[in-house]
Amino acid sequence: MLDIRPVGYVIGLLVAILGATMVFPMFVDVIDGRGEWHVFLQSGIISVLTGGLMALSCANGVREGLTIQQTFLLTTLVWVALPIFGAIPFVFGATELRFVDAFFEAMSGLTTTGSTVISGLDALPRGLLLWRGILQWLGGIGIIVVAMVFLPELRVGGMQIFRSEGFDTMGKILPRAQEIAGQITVIYVGLTVACLTVYAALGMNFFDALVHAMTTVSTGGFSNYDASFGTFSGPAEYAASVFMILAALPFVRYVQLVNGHSAPILRDSQIQVFLIVIGVLVVATTFVLTSIFPHHIEQAFREALFNITSIISGTGYASVDYMNWGPLLITMFFVIGLIGGCAGSTACSVKIFRYQLLFASIKTQLQRIRSPHGVFLPRYQGRAVGPDVLSSVMSFFVFFIVSLGILSWALSLTGLDFITSLSGAATAIANVGPGLGDQIGPAGNFSGLNDTAKWLLSAGMLIGRLEVLSVYVLFTLQFWRA
């Protein structure tokens, strides 16, 4: 029988930690003299007590490591439990959101999706704005640990190809995870501080620089303003583009770099392809903007660089309403949202390495057709790729596309139009943020959607953030029988 005590213990600790972080927005509201500080005090007490009691009640079942069953269950339930408690300040705070909206906002934050149901961000208490940033910052570092430790161990979506990429958990998931998480945290904090410093030097006040640094490095995209990053047009867009790209690169390479090994980050084909794709898209978009619209070259390049980097990395900031750029570029923005960044980063969506493996597999199949008696193997970074990896990647693509289709269909049944349904499903599963159209596009938000659509999109964010397969496996009989 499956022992859920180790799972409950870890979830309880994480809920308690989440509750403890509510002290920071509470102090901000106290300093500002806002009466909202008690909301975070009450929410923090509820979260710490609930999480602490859960951890204490399950402590007698803790072992050195987790079984595969327990790890699958933990990976999904953490991203269900934390948004529930992360939603509490939105319910009792100045927004006074209904629970469905508060849960949507918290899920969007912790999955670093960046979709929002809140209008009038400019007038919100700074405590709530900071809380939105904290949710995304915690979600960003959390997903790095999941992508580097848990998913390779669970052989989800081809992630097992990275088991030898600097870290090997050797089946003892939790003990090794603690060591890896410590190294990642130092680098993650360092990137955040560097981003904050640059933003402040470019004219942002300290609070805006802090929140936007957290949501940039986490590739989350929550902003303190309804106009998103359009409030800071100019040099800050270049800085944000740089840090979004840095956050979308594999963090294992940073760990290797600080340990004196620079070759891996320079030779990583995933990084090379990612940068080439961004470069090609930016040049093409700049050309279109200067040819069709009245843009200066610098402005066109800056807007193209920022918005393309934002969407492909899954950050979801917008500096302009690119819905006005014409159908060609609008379609391009939809497609690049389904590309994503590198594996083991804060970025989301399909990921570059899966497209590399897909094209390598197609190339190999074409070679076999041309030379039936030859022996051809798909290769990734010079290494032959086994059939188990390819099967896992192909399964991911199938489930990703099927999930996108089913979620789009389900959203359309709630009364949404085709563009809103399709782009809403894509932005949820790919964890991008804004969709397309007047309602959920870069100039709008998700507040006008019906409750059913918000629950569906929340589920889509969870499924997409956890690489699809690690969630679906919980719904198979074999999983519970094992």
Residues at the binding site for K(+) are 112-113, 220, 315, 431-432
DSSP string, 185-218: HHHHHHHHHHHHHHHHHTT--HHHHHHHHHHHHT
d(C-alpha 150, C-alpha 156), whole Å: 9
Separation in Å, CA 468 to CA 72, 156, 431, 479: 12, 9, 12, 15
Separation in Å, CA 402 to CA 396, 405, 452, 463: 10, 5, 20, 12
- Which residues partner with 102 through β-bridges? none
Asked if 210 contacts 196 with a C-beta cutoff of 8 angstroms, the reply is yes
d(C-alpha 466, C-alpha 370), whole Å: 38
DSSP string, 147-170: IIIIHHHHT-TTGGGGTTSS---T
In the chain the first and final C-alpha atoms are separated, in Å, by: 9
Can you say how many angstroms the Cα of residue 143 is from the centroid of all Cα atoms in its chain? 7
Asked if 102 contacts 60 with a C-beta cutoff of 8 angstroms, the reply is no
Strands 383-384 and 379-380: antiparallel
Return the amino acid letter for 139: G
Which residue ranges make up the annotated binding site?
112-113, 220, 315, 431-432
Using DSSP, state whether 1 is helix, strand or coil: coil
Rounded to a whole number of angstroms, the CA Rg of the chain reads 22
Asked if 159 contacts 391 with a C-beta cutoff of 8 angstroms, the reply is no
